[in-house]
């Protein structure tokens, strides 16, 4: 049975399209407006809110909670103090990524983990004799992400406490008289906040946020606009940039944290006091330099792209909706160089950009690969420069 989130009654009233997708068994808006670009500019130029309630939410509590998480998560949870959140991944024994998520440390022995896919049984299977309790709170809360340059002004009207929040910090607060937890997090690569609220209080909180957003251009945005902003931010998405190792058919569908561009998570990996799952395999990968891929950004040559279509008697496509398939890449000699996992026309960059996986020897910034395009039923290519991710990283995100 398809479920609806705690915010759905109000969001359904705001939808002009009635377009809904399915996320974790819930209805999730594909877009509210007839153009996803309008929602995109709401995030980038003003503020917009996204219903992230379908995320799975797990309380991890107990005397050994930190020790347990230290043995599962690839990022060292011991470096995360109470009142802080941490983006992390967890891996299988071979070092391949199972999934990613965000850990919120409330106290020394109480954590909340959010993830896009279910992990309850897997996590419980790892407890053993440790004093840890894992509770599924997925249906207990709604999550409202308020993102964009005006998000601080809007949320601060309701909860002045957030003025002091640094990036990935969080604080308890009250909105419309209801207890909430507000974190300076999001999936937009912009300034933004996420509000965790008990399901019964969700509509009151949403109404208060919308009222505070009057005069600030606040609007809802759906999955298509979210895909656009997260690609510009260089943020990986499960099912797009990577497949969970748990469900992959073979190793070609699996990826390591280093191959995914998340090697920065692996600080303290040499610390023998934290033998997390997959650590030995990852150490071997790093020592032997055996990574098969490097994740990079691509900026397609706009003139070459335009000429490809104009010379064929066509109008160049400028489609901001990410293509739902991999795009092949080639080197100067026409040999396979890798593949783009996400490709879109960026309104911010005014050209096509891509998150791509290329062979490590070809991954130097400033290098060129050739992106496959189909024009008049023929495979042709466009040169693209390799750049560092993210494409878009405004100062306001951290300020």
75 in any annotated domain: yes
Query: Is residue 48 domain-shared with residue 146, that is, in the same domain?
Result: yes
CATH number of the domain encompassing residue 386 = 2.40.30.110
24 in any annotated domain: yes
Q: What is the dihedral of CA 77, 83, 88, 91, to 10 degrees?
A: 50
Query: Is residue 311 domain-shared with residue 166, that is, in the same domain?
Result: no
Query: Is residue 144 domain-shared with residue 210, that is, in the same domain?
Result: yes
Kindly give the pairing relationship between strand 368-375 and strand 378-387.
antiparallel
Give the pLDDT confidence of 163-187 residue by residue, as tens digits.
999 999 999 999 999 999 999 999 9
Query: Is residue 37 domain-shared with residue 161, that is, in the same domain?
Result: yes
Q: Which of 77, 371, 93 is nearest to 254 (CA)?
A: 93
298 in any annotated domain: yes
Residues 6+ apart with CB under 8 A from 101: 87, 88, 89, 90, 113, 114, 115, 116, 119
| pLDDT of amino acid 66 | 98
Query: Is residue 183 domain-shared with residue 64, that is, in the same domain?
Result: no
Query: Is residue 179 domain-shared with residue 63, that is, in the same domain?
Result: no
Residues 6+ apart with CB under 8 A from 373: 305, 308, 379, 380, 381, 382
| pLDDT of amino acid 1 | 79
Q: Indicate the number of domains in the chain.
A: 3
382 in any annotated domain: yes
Residues 6+ apart with CB under 8 A from 208: 158, 175, 176
Q: Establish how many alpha carbons lie within 13 A of residue 36's alpha carbon, considering only the half-sphere containing its beta carbon.
A: 20
Query: Is residue 269 domain-shared with residue 207, that is, in the same domain?
Result: no
| pLDDT of amino acid 50 | 98
CB 7 within 8 A of CB 203: yes
Q: Which of 273, 370, 279 is nearest to 328 (CA)?
A: 370
Bridge-partner residues for 242, per DSSP? 238
Domain end, chosen from 269, 288, 307, is at 288
2 in any annotated domain: no
CATH number of the domain encompassing residue 184 = 3.30.1360.120
Query: Is residue 49 domain-shared with residue 79, that is, in the same domain?
Result: no
The boundaries of the domain holding residue 355 are: 294-395
Q: Which residues of the chain have pLDDT under 70?
A: none
Query: Is residue 68 domain-shared with residue 213, that is, in the same domain?
Result: no
Q: Which pair of structure tokens corresponds to residue 219?
A: 């609007």
CA distance 230 to 236: 8
234 in any annotated domain: no
Query: Is residue 310 domain-shared with residue 385, that is, in the same domain?
Result: yes
| DSSP 8-state symbol, 323 | P
344 in any annotated domain: yes
Q: Which of 301, 332, 305 is nearest to 317 (CA)?
A: 305
**Integer-rounded Cα radius of gyration of the chain:** 22
CATH number of the domain encompassing residue 62 = 3.30.70.1400
Q: Establish how many alpha carbons lie within 13 A of residue 51's alpha carbon, considering only the half-sphere containing its beta carbon.
A: 33
Query: Is residue 48 domain-shared with residue 148, that is, in the same domain?
Result: yes
Query: Is residue 31 domain-shared with residue 84, that is, in the same domain?
Result: no
């Amino acid at each position: 049975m398809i479920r609806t989130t705690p915010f759905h009654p109000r969001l359904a009233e705001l939808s002009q399209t009635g377009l809904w997708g399915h996320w974790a068994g819930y209805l999730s808006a594909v877009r509210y407006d007839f153009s996803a670009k309008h929602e995109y500019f709401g995030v980038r130029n003003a503020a917009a809110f996204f219903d992230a309630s379908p995320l799975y939410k797990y309380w991890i509590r107990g005397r050994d909670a930190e020790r347990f998480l230290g043995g599962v998560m690839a990022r060292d949870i011991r470096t995360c103090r109470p009142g802080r959140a941490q983006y992390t991944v967890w891996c299988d024994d071979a070092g391949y990524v199972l999934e990613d998520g965000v850990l919120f440390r409330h106290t020394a022995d109480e954590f909340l983990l959010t993830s896009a896919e279910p992990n309850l049984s897997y996590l419980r299977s790892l407890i053993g004799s440790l004093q840890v309790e894992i509770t599924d709170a997925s249906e207990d809360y709604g999550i409202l992400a308020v993102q964009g340059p005006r998000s601080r002004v809007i949320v601060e009207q309701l909860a002045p406490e957030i003025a002091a929040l640094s990036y990935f910090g969080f604080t308890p607060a009250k909105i419309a008289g209801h207890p909430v937890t507000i974190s300076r997090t999001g999936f937009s690569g912009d300034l933004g906040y996420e509000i965790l609220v008990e399901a019964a209080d969700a509509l009151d909180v949403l109404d208060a946020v919308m009222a505070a957003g009057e005069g600030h251009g606040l609007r809802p945005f759906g999955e298509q606009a979210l895909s656009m902003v997260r690609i510009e931010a260089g943020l990986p998405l499960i099912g797009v940039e990577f497949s969970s190792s748990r469900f992959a058919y073979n190793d070609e569908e699996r990826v390591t944290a280093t191959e995914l561009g998340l090697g920065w998570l692996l600080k303290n990996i040499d610390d023998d006091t934290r033998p997390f799952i997959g650590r030995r395999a990852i150490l071997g990968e790093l020592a032997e330099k055996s990574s098969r891929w490097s994740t990079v950004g691509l900026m397609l040559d706009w003139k070459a792209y335009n000429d490809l279509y104009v010379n064929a008697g066509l109008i160049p496509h400028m489609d901001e909706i990410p293509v739902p398939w991999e795009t092949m890449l080639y080197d100067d000699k026409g040999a396979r160089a890798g593949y783009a996992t996400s490709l879109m026309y960026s309104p911010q960059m005014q050209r096509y950009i891509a998150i791509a996986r290329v062979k490590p020897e070809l991954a130097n910034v400033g290098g060129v690969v050739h992106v496959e395009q189909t024009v008049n039923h023929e495979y042709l290519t466009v040169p693209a420069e390799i750049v560092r991710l993210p494409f878009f990283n405004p100062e306001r995100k951290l300020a």
